[in-house]
Amino acid sequence: MKILVTGGAGFIGSHVTDMFVDEGHDVVVVDDLSAGRREQVNPRAKFYQVDIRSPELSQVFESERPEVVDHHAARANVRESMEKPILYADVNILGSLNLLECSRRFGVRKFIYISTGGAEYGEPDYLPVDEEHPIRPLCPYGTSKHTVEHYLPIYQRQYGLDYTTLRYANVYGPRQDPFGEAGVVAIFAERMLHGRQAIINGSGEQERDFVYVEDYARANVLALAKGSGAAYNLASGKGTSVNVIFRLLSRLTNYRLEEVHGPPKPGEVFKIYLSIEKARRELGWEPRIGLEEGLQRTVDYFAGR
């Protein structure tokens, strides 16, 4: 089938594109290259450099007529969203609505929406967090991603646009940007491999739910045929502290500098990990790559091995 992947030049979207192509699908990538890189786009995919907010997007839909839209494009930095909430509403909400309108107008059958499990629930009432947990985001990023989830059932009921929402936890792996503010695994790995000081924000006891990027790509393939009208947490189901990540990467990179802590960052949840029982039951998905194996693969990538 023909699938349009937004953000397909980015870290996660490029891996999703690769897997769709490997599965034999005809893939079209839309990316404005504000965060993605052209060289990460699979050579067997067709590429358009277009902002998802742009009126030009409808021309892509008119020309390509995709059956499925897989929507990864977003501003996704918790800390930046605290400083630029209007930008996050503009890109993540209005950009998504532009996509939904194009999908409605040009007969898209299925819309796979990438949301956040790490930022939309807020500080959890219980662990692991399931899909029924109250939504109480602590930052504009989490709010902007969840807001779009309220539009999807409307487009399904009114226009017949089927959808599946995938709520990601903390993804890591090859191609993650090691020079941004988000993505602790890539940031630590790059600094450690080059013998530069890696800084742990806050106590380091904050816990996250880490999943290797290849496992997320596989979930998108499953969502092509499953998960109609539902939202799913995609995670490992267990929390790992930033201190543990630091120490595992230190061992894998032969890092010799001491552990240094900086101030905590505003807008971040302290401890969260997600239940994946619903995804296991209805999508047939669970992660296959364990944390140590995934970290080793990531280190090997950044080391050029």
Domain that holds residue 262: 184-207+239-273+291-302
CA pair distance 201, 247, nearest whole angstrom: 14
Q: Provide the number of structural domains found in the chain.
A: 2
b/e string for 118-135 if b means 16 or more Cβ within 10 A?
Answer: bbbbbebeebbbebebee
Q: At 43, which CATH number?
A: 3.40.50.720
* 212 strand-pairing partners: 172
Q: Which amino acid is at 112?
A: I
Q: Could you give the percent of the chain with pLDDT greater than 70?
A: 99
Angle at 221 (CA atoms; ends 216, 223), nearest 5 degrees: 90
Specify the range with the lowest mean pLDDT, choosing from 19-23, 52-56, 177-181, 291-295.
Answer: 177-181
Which residue is catalytic, options 113, 141, 216, 273? 141
Q: At 194, which CATH number?
A: 3.90.25.10
Does residue 141 carry a catalytic annotation?
A: yes
The reply to whether 132 and 243 lie within a common domain is: no
What pLDDT sits at residue 266?
83
Q: Would you say residue 178 lies in a domain? A: no
- Summary mean pLDDT of the chain: 96
The reply to whether 298 and 155 lie within a common domain is: no
The reply to whether 143 and 202 lie within a common domain is: no
Query: What tens digit of pLDDT does each residue of 97-144 get?
Result: 999 999 999 999 999 999 999 899 999 999 999 999 999 999 999 999
